Structure 1
């Protein structure tokens, strides 16, 4: 009996210690996908990827356009919004003001940069049927166009995960620490989140990814009516940018994401509707 109690007690102590070590070693970050196919992302990469997906949704572009954009951004900047580059190149696509892409300020805005990239891409005849590297090179005119091909598969995975696969995008962090690192308040700033959404997906309107929005007077939560095609892109954007706006929960499609230092941040939520997203 004593041996059994010691064994049980020892196991409990081991489990508690093991859980502590797991929490201690969990590094804040984001990911797209799960398991062996998960693609690790830092916070900047996740936010940029969500913005590119949102712009593609606003423009009603096919998924292949998003795949090409991701492959290009991964090759050009590792999906980071850079303020430097070769010659006068800047931003996630390393576009050059001197080549007519826009001003430095404009190109360092990921939504603008993505819009400029897609505007050039759709002018290429049959771009969805071209190899990814060919379509990307026709837009970028890079020194080594074939280099984009190494990111074609990753680009395709990201395109599906940020727009179509339910709860595929997640971020994990301590909300207080994340807010301090970003120099923002931990309080919910829904007005800023709504403005950020509009800058990516466009103003709520019929035919857009976001159909309508409303703010609750009680808890200050925001509800966004979304299309079935654009819903997960909007939810992914909210999760990827949650730390900037004090958002700690996102509910959609039968799931709820909660900000916290754990990689299993999406949980089933039977009350989560499929026609609207609630952010709080």
Structure 2
């Protein structure tokens, strides 16, 4: 005998099917974003001798935070490469509020495994710090193949997958650590509101401290001059500022005879003879 279903049951099944498909498409779209489409009118480009990458602005922000946390801890560039390759594999360098089981954040760390609370782990500063704290405990991590070092931190199902992102990690690390000058530029629609002008100040944070820079940008009304202890620190802070320009309403970043402006962001850095020597100037 053929079993018949009521119209109500059929309707419920149809609704569930449609919702499942929509959720699947939405999640797939989010976790598989790699490069921005030019049609969106915003994005970031990373250019180094090792290659070129395009990122979405939120990916660039996460990348700049990872580099800042590593620099604050005085970690070598290899540690940053490992972190980037891990982040790309785990989340496409996106600060995801969800993941497999209870995994969250850029490194998909699990609260149930002692990494921290969900609220802590969706803070890229905290998540990066936890990743690096675990990485430096891996004996000889600087000499290990990248995927082995990453796997000893992550304990994932397939540790070999991290290896495929090593080249991308090297490009990002060369740029966001400041080793390669003017390697990061972003573009986005010009803000219509007038930028904050609460005054200009010169300060020397413990560079490059991500939280300190964020706090200063807020407190100083997006007008500040940072002392750069070295060219590398200066370009790290400049790259961080460009990556966060849209978020904080920055219109110009100047350093080492170069300037980036939001009005001409897609064309990158341009010569600027008014740049204060040895200082990163943002406004």
TM-score (norm 2): 0.76
**What RMSD, in angstroms, separates the aligned Cα atoms of the two structures?**
3.1
- Alpha-carbon deviation of 1:275? 1.6
Structure 1 residues 254 and 76: alpha-carbon distance in aligned structure 2, compared to 1, 3 A threshold: same
Tell me whether 1:171 sits opposite 2:186 in the alignment. Answer: yes
Aligned to 2:28: none
User: Quick one: which of 117, 127, 135 aligns to 2:141?
Assistant: 127
Residues 37-95 of structure 1: per-residue CA shift (max 9 Å, x gap): 32000011000000000000100000000000000000000000000000000000000
Aligned to 1:269: 272
Tell me whether 1:101 sits opposite 2:115 in the alignment. Answer: yes
- Alpha-carbon deviation of 1:186? 5.2
Given that residues 255 and 267 in structure 1 are in contact (C-alpha distance below 8 angstroms), is that contact kept between their aligned partners in structure 2? yes
- Alpha-carbon deviation of 1:175? 2.4
Structure 1 residues 264 and 236: alpha-carbon distance in aligned structure 2, compared to 1, 3 A threshold: same
Superposition map of 1:144-159 within 5 A = 144-159=158-173
Aligned to 1:162: 176
Q: 5+ residue gaps in structure 1?
A: 1-23, 178-184, 205-209
User: Quick one: which of 247, 250, 253 aligns to 2:253?
Assistant: 250
- Alpha-carbon deviation of 1:189? 7.5
Tell me whether 1:226 sits opposite 2:228 in the alignment. Answer: yes
Q: Secondary structure at the match of 1:176?
A: coil
Aligned to 2:78: 64
Aligned to 1:13: none
Misfit runs of 4+, over 6 Å: 197-200
1:170, 1:108 → 2: CA distance?
Answer: 25
Residues 217-274 of structure 1: per-residue CA shift (max 9 Å, x gap): 9x97211112213211111110000111111000001100000355213101123245
Q: 5+ residue gaps in structure 2?
A: 1-37
Given that residues 26 and 262 in structure 1 are in contact (C-alpha distance below 8 angstroms), is that contact kept between their aligned partners in structure 2? no
Aligned to 2:96: 82
Q: Secondary structure at the match of 2:102?
A: coil
TM-score (norm 1): 0.77
Tell me whether 1:49 sits opposite 2:63 in the alignment. Answer: yes
Structure 1 residues 29 and 62: alpha-carbon distance in aligned structure 2, compared to 1, 3 A threshold: same
Q: Secondary structure at the match of 1:256?
A: strand
1:203, 1:174 → 2: CA distance?
Answer: 26
Aligned to 1:201: 209
1:89, 1:54 → 2: CA distance?
Answer: 23
Given that residues 51 and 200 in structure 1 are in contact (C-alpha distance below 8 angstroms), is that contact kept between their aligned partners in structure 2? no
- Alpha-carbon deviation of 1:26? 7.6
- Alpha-carbon deviation of 1:188? 3.1
Superposition map of 1:132-147 within 5 A = 132-147=146-161
